[in-house]
Structure 1
Amino acid sequence: MEGFKDIIEVKVSQDDRGKRLDAFLSEFFENTTRNYIQKLIDNQNVTVDGKEKVKNGSKLKGNEFIIIRIPEDEILEVLPEDLPIDIVYEDKDMVIINKDPGVIVHPAQGFYTG
């Protein structure tokens, strides 16, 4: 299980026949976003009956065996940056900043700097 936090095996029932793979897995993992499920599929962390190259929109036929490999969490190092900011008001309790539209307030998926 090197490189993976968890490996989950799922047997698809006939009741799930015709469902999209990503929709099925989104239902199975109730607290996981569909976007994350789609990335798992795109990164070939999901196999259906041993096939690694599956698509998000693949229709299930029923009775498939799905293996989902959950990768280890990515550890991001967030460092402060010296960016020019326009401080409109500042006192001991608060600060009001006039932020340019392209300046990131906090790191997010795909936007780690700037």
Structure 2
Amino acid sequence: MAAGDGDRQWRSVPDALMSAWGDVFDASQEGETLSAPCPVCGATTLHRWFDRHRADPRIIAGLPWWGQGSQWQWCSSCRCYLHASGWVPVWWETAIEVDPSTLTHTPAPIEDVIERMR
């Protein structure tokens, strides 16, 4: 599937599960692939990826941040996702390289890169 082709299939995290979704991602510093089950479908196919925009190291609420950027959180099985702008944590490291010009609101381009790496 070409980057962006699966955009129609992606859907937002259901409102009723948004808190549980956030709890799973907030509790993890595992990197791109989380070991926790998806709060929506129960599959262990949760992922996250940050795109660092601007270095601006600082401590906020006692936690160290690298700077500003964007984050995608998604489940490869049920294709629920969340995309947001905000602060990128200092623990974030990735070997996944995604062409910034391919990024969309959905995680489709990032998922495509991960699939090619497998």
**TM-score of the superposed pair, with normalisation by structure 1:** 0.30
Larger Rg: 1
